[in-house]
Amino acid sequence: MDIIQSYCGTGLKAQFHCYNGSLDDALEFMKMNHFISFTGNITFKKSDGLRDILKHIDLNHIMLETDSPFMTPVPYRGKRNEPSYVKYVAQQIAEIHKLSLEDVGRITSLNAFRFFGIGNAPKTSFTYLLENSLYINVTNRCNADCTFCRRKEDPFLRGYNLGMKKSEEPTAEVYISEIGDPKKYDEIVFCGYGEPTIRWDVVREVAKYVKANGGKTRMNTNGHGNIINKKDITPEMKDIIDVISISLNSYDPKQYAELMQVSETHFDEMKNFARLAKQCVNKVVMSVVSLDEVEIEKSRKVVEDEIGVEFRIRTYF
């Protein structure tokens, strides 16, 4: 638990200006909740190594800066830098992360607000677009309280504000109207900073709409849906949820309980949920977060050999 607690941090945030360090250091800084900031240096011809690092920088931790009058980006390299050239730094980030310039603007503006307090937090997004999947921000509530979860103090993701009070949670109709034609998206994903099965009735109604209109659905869950709803909800997922993604978090019930701050019995309940879900949906995926103290191979064995579903590793930041 010591390592986990050190990840939780002290609330101190730092910005690593004009980043030119190693990938390992950058990954450590992000685990500590710090920000990695780039200037015109990522546009230079000889900066392939830095651009490789940039690929691995989580967008929740990225900032751009002018560093004017220095570090002039290509195509003005060699001339005096000025703030308006920051768009070339943004373009490089957009290209590497396969985003639009608008995405980079939204993400880095929010990160500047989170770090410096400049501007305002954006309005809560009930739905949010990542690549071509539309995510449904169902709730901020959760029955667990994971040590690595940001939902309370920092509910932001890729420039979107996912924080909401219970009284602000929208109805199924609001989500349906924001979705429109679900065929426009690769999939509709029920996932925010909270546990979606807490509002299973709303998820079910929206999922029914999506399937009736030719879309695909995925629900990301902690696998406690049957405990939360005090009944087996997996048969209700048949024909309306295509993929269930469950956070395994650890192969060890004790560590699982410590990480999620739930009782150890939740571990067996979660595995049982996965087995039941397997009978009712097309695909079940179980994942662990890449924390140093989580034994990946033992977790993989539980998922693949014991439960017989797909295993995935999630990056921790």
- Residues forming contacts to ligand SF4 in the complex (CB under 6 A) are 142, 144-146, 149, 151, 193-195, 222, 260
Nearer to ligand SF4, 109 or 143 (CB): 143
- A 10 A CB-CB count for 54 gives 21
Nearer to ligand SF4, 67 or 195 (CB): 195
Nearer to ligand SF4, 60 or 92 (CB): 60
How many residues make up the chain in this entry? 317
- Tell the smallest beta-carbon distance from residue 127 to ligand SF4 (Å): 18
179: region left, alpha or beta (phi > 0 left; psi from -120 to 50 alpha): alpha
- A 10 A CB-CB count for 312 gives 12
Pairing of strands 188-190, 133-136: parallel
The two three-digit tokens of residue 232, written as one number: 């087996």
- Tell the smallest beta-carbon distance from residue 82 to ligand SF4 (Å): 43
- Tell the smallest beta-carbon distance from residue 124 to ligand SF4 (Å): 16
Q: How far is CA 170 from CA 73, 202, 245, 251, in A?
A: 44, 9, 23, 35
Which amino acid is present at 240?
Answer: I
Nearer to ligand SF4, 65 or 195 (CB): 195
141: region left, alpha or beta (phi > 0 left; psi from -120 to 50 alpha): beta
- Tell the smallest beta-carbon distance from residue 262 to ligand SF4 (Å): 9
Nearer to ligand SF4, 260 or 294 (CB): 260
- Tell the smallest beta-carbon distance from residue 223 to ligand SF4 (Å): 9
**Cβ 36 vs Cβ 18: under 8 Å:** no
